[in-house]
Amino acid sequence: MKIISSLLLILISFSLQSSSQDLFTIKGRLSTCRPYRAGNDFGERQLSLIKGKDTIIKNIKTSMGEFVVPGLQPGQYTLRFLNIFNQEVKKSLLVMGNLQEVICCTDSFIDTKRPTFIEKMSAGSKIKLSFESLGCFHNVKSSIYIEKKNSKIIASFYSSRDNKKKTKVLAKHDIEALILFERQLFQMKNVREDCTTVDYYTYTVAGKSVLSVTDGSCDWNGYLLLTKEIFGGEI
Q: Across all residues in the chain, what is the average pLDDT?
A: 88
**Whole-prediction pTM value?**
0.83
Q: Which of 97-101, 107-111, 163-167 has the lowest mean pLDDT?
A: 163-167
Q: Residue 138's pLDDT is what?
A: 85
Beta-bridge partner residues of 140: 133
Q: Which long-range contacts (CB under 8 A, 24 or more apart) does 159-167 make?
A: 159/227, 166/231
Q: Residue 36's pLDDT is what?
A: 66
Q: Residue 126's pLDDT is what?
A: 97
The answer to whether the beta carbons of residues 37 and 221 sit under 8 Å apart is yes
The domain segmentation of the chain, as residue ranges, is 23-105, 118-231
Exposure string of 47-86, with b = 16+ CB inside 10 Å and e = fewer, is bbbbbeeeeeeeebebeebebebeebeeeebebbbbbbbe
pLDDT at residue 32 greater than cutoff 90: no
Rg for the chain, CA atoms, rounded: 25
pLDDT at residue 7 greater than cutoff 60: no
Separation between Cα atoms, residue 138 and residue 119, nearest integer Å? 33
Q: Which of 15-24, 37-46, 80-89, 181-190 has the lowest mean pLDDT?
A: 15-24
Region 174-203: mean pLDDT is 94
**pLDDT grade, residue 96 (50/70/90)?**
very high
Q: Residue 18's pLDDT is what?
A: 44
Superfamily of domain 23-105: Immunoglobulins (2.60.40.10)
